[in-house]
Amino acid sequence: MGVSTEPGLTGKQSIVIGGRRWDRSGRGPWRSTSYGEIRVPNAYWGPRAQNAFYSAPNMITFYDPRIRAWYRLRLDRAGRPAALKMIAGAHFMHHDYSFRSPTISPPSR
């Protein structure tokens, strides 16, 4: 399931649930549409994370040998990512995640 909104007062909106998609412009009616592949970003770490363990409640720490970096992932109460820290030789980063979007449901007809 996903939702996307283009910026602007009369932006386009899309809702995808399973194999179905609905689109609308502004506050216009929802129309069922077809869609191709939905592209989502890849995780920052590789497929072979090592030494993963809970380092605190709602906190997972692991190592990515491919780029030789340690990650600390903090989860919110629902188990979704809330913050990610990465530390590697001469490099570090911090990401904050937000899930404050409204509840998503299929459009009514």
Q: Are 31 and 24 spatial neighbours (Cβ–Cβ below 8 Å)?
A: yes
In angstroms, the CA 12 to CA 17 distance is 17
Distance CA 71, CA 50 (A): 10
Tens of pLDDT along 72-102?
Answer: 999 988 888 899 999 999 889 998 887 766 6
Which pLDDT does position 1 carry in this prediction?
46
Summarised one tens digit per residue, pLDDT across range 8-57 is 434 677 788 777 888 888 778 888 888 777 666 677 777 888 999 999 99
Q: What would you measure as the largest C-alpha separation in the chain, in angstroms?
A: 55
Contact 66, 46 (CB under 8 A): yes
In the prediction, which pLDDT does 98 show?
Answer: 76
pLDDT at 109 over 80: no
Domain spans of the chain? 2-33, 50-96
Other CB atoms within 10 A of residue 83 CB: 14
What is the CA 5 to chain-centroid distance, rounded? 15
